[in-house]
């Protein structure tokens, strides 16, 4: 089988890889590039555990072919922290105990980051709407929503101080 050569940008870095035509972006990220933050929960796009951004849009990486990343900009959970400094969302998830088993957490964080980039002052209803594509069976959603709301408030305060 002929492999496809792909050049893409992942978390700000130019990345090249070869993949089989039927390989999903999730498989490429995890198995070829060692980015194991995104998880496979269902393989059908129903759970959100594999959520990444593609050109700024939320995508289930289990539903996108790795070859389709050619020339695109991909954002994964690995790109959230800056060096050793956690993103405010990551810190607030820890502060609010908004994670347990960790399967859903990367996808939820990527979706929440995308929301806050578009709307730094979301209502609770908007947060719940944006996270509706991410299933969590361990925590319920209240701690997750509180963590996102708290991170939004902190990030707004930081932006107003700058």
Model confidence pLDDT, tens digit, residues 32-89: 999 999 999 999 999 999 999 999 999 999 999 999 999 999 999 999 999 899 999 9
Take residue 65 and report the two structure tokens written for it: 């072919």
Q: Give the tens place of pLDDT for each residue, 91-103.
A: 999 999 999 899 9
Residue 160, C-beta contacts closer than 8 angstroms, at least 6 positions apart: none
Domains and CATH numbers, the chain: 4-79 (3.10.20.30), 88-161 (1.10.150.120)
DSSP string of the chain?
A: -PPEEEEEEETTEEEEEEE-TT-BHHHIIIIIT---SS--SSSSSSS-TTEEEETTEEEETTSSBGGGGTT-EEE-GGGTSBTTBPPHHHHHHHHTT--SSSSSHHHHHHHHHHHHHH-SS--HHHHHHHTTT---SSS-SHHHHHHHHHHHHHHHHHHHH-
Burial class (CB in 10 A: 0-12, 13-18, 19+), 1: exposed
The band of 151, judged by pLDDT with boundaries at 50, 70 and 90, is very high
pLDDT at 137: 87
Contact assessment for residue 88 and residue 155, using Cβ atoms and an 8 Å cutoff: yes
Q: Give the tens place of pLDDT for each residue, 6-40.
A: 999 999 999 999 999 999 999 999 999 999 999 99
Give me the percent of the chain exceeding a pLDDT of 90.
Answer: 90
How many Å apart are CA 99 and CA 2, to the nearest integer?
Answer: 41
Of the candidates 66, 132, 77, the residue with the CA atom closest to the CA atom of residue 103: 77
pLDDT at 40: 96
């Amino acid at each position: 089988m002929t492999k496809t050569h792909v050049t893409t940008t992942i978390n700000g870095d130019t990345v090249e890889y070869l993949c089989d035509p039927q390989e999903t972006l999730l498989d490429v990220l995890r198995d070829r590039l060692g980015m194991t933050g995104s998880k496979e929960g269902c393989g059908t796009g129903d759970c959100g555990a594999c959520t990444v951004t593609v050109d700024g849009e939320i995508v289930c990486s289990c539903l996108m072919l790795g070859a389709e990343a050619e020339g695109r900009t991909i954002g994964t959970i690995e790109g959230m922290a800056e060096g050793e400094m956690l993103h405010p969302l990551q810190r607030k998830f820890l502060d609010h105990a908004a994670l347990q088993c960790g399967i859903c957490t990367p996808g939820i964080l990527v979706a929440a980051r995308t929301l806050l980039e578009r709307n730094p002052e979301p209502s609770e209803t908007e947060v719940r709407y944006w996270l509706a594509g991410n299933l969590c069976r361990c925590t319920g959603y209240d701690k997750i929503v509180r963590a996102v709301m708290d991170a939004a408030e902190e990030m707004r305060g930081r932006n107003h101080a700058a």
